[in-house]
Amino acid sequence: MTRVPVAKGVFTWPADEPQLIGSRCAGCGIVTFPAQDSCPRCASTDMAERLLPRRGRLWAWTTQEFPPPSPPYSGASGDAFVPYGVGYVELGGEVRVETRLTQAEGLHIGMDMELVLVPFRIDGDGNEVVTFAFQPVG
Ligand SMILES: [Zn+2]
C-alpha cells in the first residue's frame, strides 16, 4: 500500500525521522506551526521555513471522545471512530504544537514526547494517508 502525507508542507516527507515544518519570523523571532506567510505577532512577511525538533514536552492534553467536525476532519466516523488523545507539545522551548497523541492514558504534563507518523485513513485511490502524532519517549 502506498503511503501519502495528509497534506503537503506539514512534515518532511519522505523521511526516516520526520520533522514538522514550521516557520520563524526574521523580525521578532517567533516560531509558528504550521508555517505561516506572515507573522502573527508583528505582521512581518519575512518568514523562513524552520524544521522543528522531533522531541518535546507534553504541555496539556485531553481526549477526543467523538469525531471532530467534518470538514476539515476526514477520518473514521460513526462506529469506526476510536477516541484518541489530543494535546499541546512544546518543542525546543519556542513553539507549542497542537497535535494528536498516540495514546489517551498514562500521560502526564512535562513528559518527553517524540514525533511519529501514524495511519489516518484510506483515501479513494487506496493509499494509506498518514498524519503526525506524538508518543511518549521510551
Ligand atoms: Zn514577527
pLDDT at 134 over 90: yes
Per the prediction, the chain carries an average pLDDT of 94
Report the separation in Å between the CA atom of 46 and the middle of ligand 1, taken as the mean of its atom positions.
8
pLDDT on residue 70: 85
By the CB criterion, residues less than 5 angstroms from ion ligand 1 are 25, 27-28, 39, 41-42, 44
Report the separation in Å between the CA atom of 28 and the middle of ligand 1, taken as the mean of its atom positions.
4
**From the DSSP assignment, how many helices (H) and strands (E) are in the chain?**
0, 9
Which residues share a beta bridge with 109?
none
- Exposure of 17 in the CB half-sphere (CA atoms within 13 A): 6
Residues 6+ apart with CB under 8 A from 112: 55, 56, 57, 136, 137, 138
pLDDT tens-digit profile of 68-118? Answer: 888 878 888 889 898 889 999 999 999 999 999 999 889 999 999 999 999
Report the separation in Å between the CA atom of 51 and the middle of ligand 1, taken as the mean of its atom positions.
17
Report the separation in Å between the CA atom of 131 and the middle of ligand 1, taken as the mean of its atom positions.
28
The four Cα atoms 20, 24, 30, 35 give a dihedral, to 10 degrees, of -50
pLDDT tens-digit profile of 30-58? Answer: 999 999 999 999 999 999 999 999 999 99
CA-to-CA distance for 118 and 30, rounded, in angstroms? 28
Q: Is the pTM for the entire model greater than 0.85?
A: yes
What value does the mean pLDDT take over residues 52-67? 95
Report the separation in Å between the CA atom of 41 and the middle of ligand 1, taken as the mean of its atom positions.
5
The three-class DSSP label of residue 5 is strand
